[in-house]
Homo-oligomer: A and B are copies of this chain.
């Protein structure tokens, strides 16, 4: 039985749903509608076009086999009709029609559908402050904007750029402007860390340090209040609650909002804050209407609450599920965990599941375990440091999330992906300690870094060691209390610390500790330090066995202290 499916939005979800449905029901008809002239593009590639890594903006519209995904492409290769530059302005659910308006001509048309797909995507948030729409202020949400930014940069007229928002896109844009174009770039973020919401504070500090070393300036916990124009009418200055900055170019990347008005006006179940609610088959509250991609909310696998994850990867997978169900299939889309990665100059950051603050906010009695280790066999010449935060539930040991930072990006993404894949099934730290991963010295350590992380968490949960993070270490380092730092490494290489902090920084190599316990005070807190946390854990066990009670071990050791840029 042939049917007509109308798909609103043709960036990622829409084309995928349309093509999948047509493969399953070649005899049915699909109309794909999009507001833009240039649709079906890899929007996530925009920062890499601005950076010059992608030479031509057209590349973002091509398939892997170099065909441009234009209307002709969809008609010929997918059997899908496209209406570009066309807006869907109303849905009549009773009549099963959608009203379209051709934007260049204003001509309206009522199109009947058997089933409808909503993939309207999202719109960038524009700060509600004076001057927010001045020329020279760009959001990163269309190929035209991308071309505009790059043209400006390439013309050499940009000396100082300001990026507002230290999320994925903002940081990628800061990297692009600094790295290729050598533009003095400052990132303004109103929260007190970069990657707010997705990264823990310690990892964010480490990433911040790296980006500063690469020349990007940051103004955290600072709020934009207005933009001022220069004599040419273009943006020239950004005014914040703490001062002002000159800027020839402003990238506004403070998040996106779901385009769910069309759905709301049609009486579909839509969140008050925006975002269409869908069930596990990706149907809206009207069974003849599906929705997906950047305009929907999805249940989180851990918190069960609806969350908003505007990511191209989510949209692509959802498109296939919708395509299947349009053809009468019974596909379901699993609850989400929120997996991400981003390249920040020479480092990669990635994560999945909940951060510690997010876990606590969701009501979990959670703790975060930090480890910083070599990512493969320590004797293999090419290797990198990987810093990982594991968020676990205290009572059950259940893994709630993991975030990481590493020089070897693919390796980090691999570890995060393993946890992402396991998260929905509720693994414990113990399970993570025993997951069977591939081992060979060029690629991993014999005890994989994920196994180690699971084991460390397992020990902390069981109370076998009490760890503190580097930010806690930084706090107690500066609080003036009389305690001692006991460095458990071999003497060689740490003499400068002993000389610099006499009476405060002590050294007993972990192997000598059992024989030298009498040298330690029993009335002061002892803070155990080594290179990565492994030897200070051993030292903790020895001290605890010998009746010391006021002891803590610095998770990640001096590796983490240095990575976070803490001065000792």
Contact = CB atoms under 8 A, between A and B. Distances in A.
Interface of A: 12, 16, 23-24, 26-27, 42, 44-45, 48, 53-54, 59-60, 62-65, 67, 73, 76-79, 168, 311-317, 320-321, 331, 333-334, 336-343, 348, 350-352, 373-374, 377-381, 408-411, 413-418, 420-422, 425, 430-431, 433-444, 446-448, 451, 455, 464, 489-490, 510-512, 514, 530-532, 534-535, 538, 541-542, 545
A367 B510 CA distance: 54
A341 B438 contact: yes
Contact of A339 (B333, B422, B437): B437
Contacts of A413: 411, 414, 437-438, 443-444
A340 B42 contact: no
A338 B442 CA distance: 18
A379 B59 contact: yes
Contact of A320 (B54, B416, B433): B433
B45 A380 contact: yes
Nearest to A444: B413
B77 A337 contact: no
29 contacts: A26-B542, A26-B545, A27-B545, A44-B446, A54-B379, A62-B378, A65-B489, A65-B530, A73-B511, A77-B511, A77-B538, A79-B514, A312-B439, A313-B436, A316-B446, A317-B433, A333-B434, A341-B440, A343-B440, A343-B442, A348-B442, A348-B443, A350-B438, A411-B413, A413-B443, A414-B417, A417-B418, A417-B438, A418-B420
Q: Identify the 4 closest CB pairs spanning chains A and B, nearest first.
A: A414-B414, A76-B511, A313-B439, A410-B410
Nearest to A60: B379
B313 A446 contact: yes
B440 A168 contact: yes
Given A44-B377, A379-B45, A441-B45, A531 B65 contact: yes
A448 B420 CA distance: 13
Contacts of A336: 436
Contacts of A317: 433-434, 436, 447, 451
Count this chain's copies in the assembly. Answer: 2
A42 B440 contact: no
A317 B450 CA distance: 11
Given A379-B45, A379-B60, A464-B23, A420 B435 contact: yes
A388 to B, nearest CB: 14
A23 B441 contact: no
A22 to B, nearest CB: 8
Contact of A381 (B54, B434, B532): B54
Contacts of A373: 64
Contacts of A60: 379
B438 A420 contact: yes
B380 A26 contact: no
Contacts of A438: 339-341, 350-352, 413, 416-417, 420
A25 to B, nearest CB: 9
A422 B435 CA distance: 9
Contacts of A78: 538
A490 B437 contact: no
A425 to B, nearest CB: 6
Nearest to A74: B511
A541 B28 CA distance: 14
A78 B340 CA distance: 39
A338 B438 CA distance: 8
A224 B272 CA distance: 75
A398 B48 CA distance: 38
B410 A54 contact: no
Nearest to A436: B339
Contacts of A378: 62-64
A534 B64 CA distance: 10
Nearest to A348: B443
